[in-house]
Amino acid sequence: MNNIELNDKIDKMNNLVELHLHLDGALSINNCKKIARIQNIDIPDDNEVSKMMIVSDGCNDLNEFLSKFEFPLSLLQTFEGIKNAVKNLEEELALQGIVYAEIRFAPQLHTSECLNQDEVVRAAIEGLNSSKLRSNLILCCMRGNNNQDENMETVRIAKKYLGKGVCAIDLAGAEALYSTANFEDIFMYSKELGIPYTIHAGEADGPSSIYDAIRFGTKRIGHGVRAIEDSNLVKKIVDEGITLEVCPTSNICTSVYNKIADIPIKQFIDSGVKITINTDDPAICNTNLKKELKLIATTFELTYEDILSLQLNAIKASFASKEVKEEVIKIINDN
């Protein structure tokens, strides 16, 4: 099968799984317009909104990348804004051929106006329940110096809504500034409460952050691509059955790598590492899951069977219920 035929098959896929997707980085221009309207917020025209949200081609500036979150976050500070943003996003994902998604966000970043973290999460759950897409929420704790109380509150809320729309917690934020090792208490508390978790590691920070994440007991790592710098770590990831949530275009936008061919996707596959392909912040990176899959298929000469294998990796590593996993595995295998 040549690249044109493979890309055509990927375009027609309706059995995709997205595990690493940030709500504030996934708001399309149409979604922004819809939620601005219901909140009576005036926003600029499409061209201006595009400039505010989407990184420039070949973006190599982390500051530019981070600045793109300011506008969408400003629209996600009310109950109706959050609820409808999640609902609209899920409808868009379904149209893109996604059959299961895990949407993550940090409740503490949505409390600048009138909401507390509990209300933020309830709004997002109402958005989930307004859609037919199989999906769950991952609640992100944030790296920082003075937000331990907020992070612990996020964990408690995750426990409250676990199995009712929330499936796990995560740790996000500036890895290089705030070492993963400093947040062990979050995951020990989560383990005590029986909350599953994934951890951002091995993106801006190196292999040590991944070792810390594994020491905390995670079976999933957000990004994790810099594991390739340590062969012993790669072996440990394989031996312990840990899955990496790889986000190719995002890694270029944040200057982890200069080009897609530099990302160690083929090395991981050949080494037996279970990887999944994700969009991370699709609106900001101007991408979607099919675009990511076509990009890696072409770059690394993957087959259609390889792409299906990546989807199976994703649903098997997901925090979905056993019943949902079985449903989605059947959908993938039937295509």
DSSP state of 197: B
Answer for the pair 276, 18: CB distance below 8 angstroms, yes or no.
no
> How do 220-223 and 199-201 pair as beta strands?
parallel
H-type alpha helices, 61-201: 62-67, 70-74, 79-95, 117-129, 148-160, 184-193
Question: At 113, which amino acid appears?
Answer: E
Longest dimension (CA), the chain: 55
DSSP state of 237: H
Would you call 173 helix, strand, or coil by DSSP? coil
- Active-site option among 203, 301, 323, 327: 203
Q: Is 175 a catalytic residue?
A: no
Q: How far apart are the first and last CA of the chain?
A: 16
Residues sharing a CB contact under 8 Å with residue 20, sequence separation 6 or more, in sequence order: 102, 104, 222, 223, 245, 247, 276, 278, 279, 280
Answer for the pair 209, 177: CB distance below 8 angstroms, yes or no.
no
CA atoms within 13 A of residue 277's CA, in its CB half-sphere: 29
Q: Count CB-CB contacts under 10 A for residue 329.
A: 16
Answer for the pair 104, 23: CB distance below 8 angstroms, yes or no.
yes
Catalytic residue annotation: 203
